[in-house]
Amino acid sequence: MKKTTLLVACLAVLLLPLAASAYSVKKGDSIYVPKEEVIEGNLYAVGSNLTIEGKVTGDVICAGQSVNINGDVAGDVICAGQSISINGKIGGNLRVVGNTVNFNGQVARNGITVGATVVTSASSTIGWDLLVLGNIFELRGNIGRDFYGSAGKVNVAGQIGKNLNLNFGSQNNYDKPLVIANTAKINGNVTYKSGKDAAVDAGAVIKGETIHNFPAVVNKKSNAANLGWWWGKLISIFSALVIGLVIISFWREQIIKTTDLMLAKVGPALGWGVLALFLTPLIFIVLLITIIGLPLAFITLGLWLIAIYLSKILVGILIGRSLLNNYWAKQKDSLILAMVVGIIVAYLIFALPFIGWIVALLAMLWGLGGIMLSFKKA
Predicted confidence at residue 325, as pLDDT, reads 84
Does residue 293 have a pLDDT over 60?
Answer: yes
pLDDT mean over 28-42: 90
Predicted confidence at residue 218, as pLDDT, reads 53
Predicted confidence at residue 12, as pLDDT, reads 40
User: What does DSSP assign to residue 290?
Assistant: T
Q: Give 62's strand partners.
A: 45, 79
Which of 54-63, 207-216, 320-329 has the lowest average pLDDT? 320-329
* Cβ pair 98, 77 in contact under 8 A: no
pLDDT mean over 98-113: 93
Query: Measured between alpha carbons, how far is 47 from 67 in angstroms, rounded to an integer?
Result: 9
Q: What is the largest CA-CA distance in the chain?
A: 67
Predicted confidence at residue 16, as pLDDT, reads 38
Backbone angles phi, psi at 346, to 5 degrees: -65, -45
Backbone angles phi, psi at 306, to 5 degrees: -65, -45
Query: Measured between alpha carbons, how far is 317 from 285 in angstroms, rounded to an integer?
Result: 33
Query: Measured between alpha carbons, how far is 118 from 100 in angstroms, rounded to an integer?
Result: 6
CB proximity list for 267: less than 8 A, separation 6 or greater: 29, 46, 47, 48, 49, 63, 64, 65, 81
Which of 14-28, 84-98, 108-122 has the lowest average pLDDT? 14-28
| Cα-based torsion angle of the residue sequence 121, 122, 126, 127 in order, rounded to the nearest 10 degrees | -170
Predicted confidence at residue 227, as pLDDT, reads 60
The band of 22, judged by pLDDT with boundaries at 50, 70 and 90, is low
Does residue 6 have a pLDDT over 80?
Answer: no
pTM of the model: 0.63
Q: Give 23's strand partners.
A: 42
| Among 8-22, 238-252, 263-277, the range of highest mean pLDDT | 263-277
19 versus 107: the higher-pLDDT residue is: 107
Query: Measured between alpha carbons, how far is 83 from 329 in angstroms, rounded to an integer?
Result: 32
Residue closest to 341 by CA, chosen among 365, 367, 323, 360: 323
Predicted confidence at residue 9, as pLDDT, reads 38
* Cβ pair 145, 161 in contact under 8 A: yes
* Cβ pair 93, 112 in contact under 8 A: yes
Does residue 7 have a pLDDT over 50?
Answer: no
Please compute, for residue 357, the number of CA atoms within 13 A of its CA located in the half-sphere on the CB side. 8
Query: Measured between alpha carbons, how far is 75 from 73 in angstroms, rounded to an integer?
Result: 6
User: What does DSSP assign to residue 122?
Assistant: T
Predicted confidence at residue 222, as pLDDT, reads 56
Predicted confidence at residue 141, as pLDDT, reads 96
The tens digit of pLDDT for each residue in 266-287 reads: 888 888 888 888 888 888 877 7
Predicted confidence at residue 288, as pLDDT, reads 73
Query: Measured between alpha carbons, how far is 64 from 264 in angstroms, rounded to an integer?
Result: 13
Query: Measured between alpha carbons, how far is 102 from 199 in angstroms, rounded to an integer?
Result: 24
| SS3 (DSSP) at 270 | helix
Query: Measured between alpha carbons, how far is 66 from 95 in angstroms, rounded to an integer?
Result: 16
Q: What is the CA radius of gyration of the chain?
A: 23
The band of 94, judged by pLDDT with boundaries at 50, 70 and 90, is very high
* Cβ pair 127, 146 in contact under 8 A: no
Does residue 360 have a pLDDT over 50?
Answer: yes
Residue closest to 366 by CA, chosen among 65, 134, 78: 65
Which of 73-87, 185-199, 317-331 has the lowest average pLDDT? 317-331
The band of 5, judged by pLDDT with boundaries at 50, 70 and 90, is very low
Please compute, for residue 188, the number of CA atoms within 13 A of its CA located in the half-sphere on the CB side. 13
The band of 15, judged by pLDDT with boundaries at 50, 70 and 90, is very low
Residue closest to 158 by CA, chosen among 122, 208, 191, 126: 122
Does residue 376 have a pLDDT over 90?
Answer: no
